[in-house]
Structure 1
Amino acid sequence: MRSLKNLDIEKSIESKKLVYEESWSDKFDAVGRYFIFSILIFYSFLVFKEIKPSPNNSLDYFVLSSLLTFCLYSSYCKFTEKNLKEIKFYIHKEEAKRRILEYGKKYKYRISKISSNLIFFNEPINGFSGWGEEKTTVIFFQDQSIFYTVIQNGRKTNAPVLISQHFIRKDFKKILNQKKFDLNPKKSYFDRFFNDPIN
């Protein structure tokens, strides 16, 4: 789990952004990622200019467009990873906390930092959990809403979370707004992309 030294719960909720003492390695990691993405975006635009429009170049356009989209989206995710997303609910705060905790236990998250207003859900990024690579969902509780974000901690770099933040939002919204609390089996990413009904 990434170190969130001196995390200020009240200021984080008030500003809707994680407020903590960021280490120099975290700052260096973020600057390094922005630098790499900037170079890739810059050279993608340069190559776009050199490609002459023709049916034979459609694959080149597709590859460059995909690379450019990935770099822009990854930069956005990295830039906003400390921003807290809000989900409102109309049940009692303790009931909301109970539901969130049951969700975490059922799906085998390593739950830590349990307090009246804060919970961490941790899960390994890959099967080699001994490497210390984890994805952490930070959840703050208020009377009628939760604030959360998802961050990653890796051995070498703290990559932005690209997809799972959207799935966790959908799960939280569902369980916090159910009249009758019921946990369904957790689906794989493939199932969520192709078999989930659109709400």
Structure 2
Amino acid sequence: MSRPEHQAPPEITYRALELLNLPENEPAFLLDIGCGSGLSGEILDEEGHIWVGMDISPSMLQVALEREVEGDLFLQDVGQGMGFRPGTFDGAISISVLQWLCNADHTSHNPKSRLNRFFSTLYSSLRRGARAVFQFYPENDDQCELIMNVAMRCGFEGGLLVDYPNSKKAKKYFLCLFAGQSASGAKQQMPKALGEDVDGEPNTVVYSSQR
């Protein structure tokens, strides 16, 4: 069965880029987590950014190589962490990958430990004030809570944003994380979700690293 990220419409990647809130007309160095065949990377190219892609699937990376994508590609299980230098990236995006870290596909896999290795090394690899945006498909509220709790313990702030919460077809979950304060020292604000509010309440859940 095809994974959802391999058929994701371009609109999802454009939305993730919008939520990154990058400076206009300035190329950024971005990490594409679960880059697959490089579909998201092509959009990053169109927007003038430089990118590095990571994926656990050799066959998908081979497709990306055959398509001659511009980004540098790494074969990597992100649940084992990443080895980039501190402050390497201006931002990170991920389309339909995060939920897979909640699965114990092997007897040695512990979802909480894998999430901790992932978020701790991701936090280190981002420059301070950078954002990481994940579009994902949570199975239930417990998965969302697990992911958010681990991310906060690793230093991130941010929250969960749900676009079009009342539409079965258009509803999308985005986890928007901040790696500390911006260079100006101003506290970062959660972006607004698209679509109708739920029962008059904003369709975002804001978290912070403070208890």
With normalisation by structure 2, the TM-score equals 0.22
Which structure's residues are more often strand, by fraction?
2
Higher relative contact order (CA 8 A, sep 6+): 1
The TM-score normalised by the length of structure 1 is 0.23
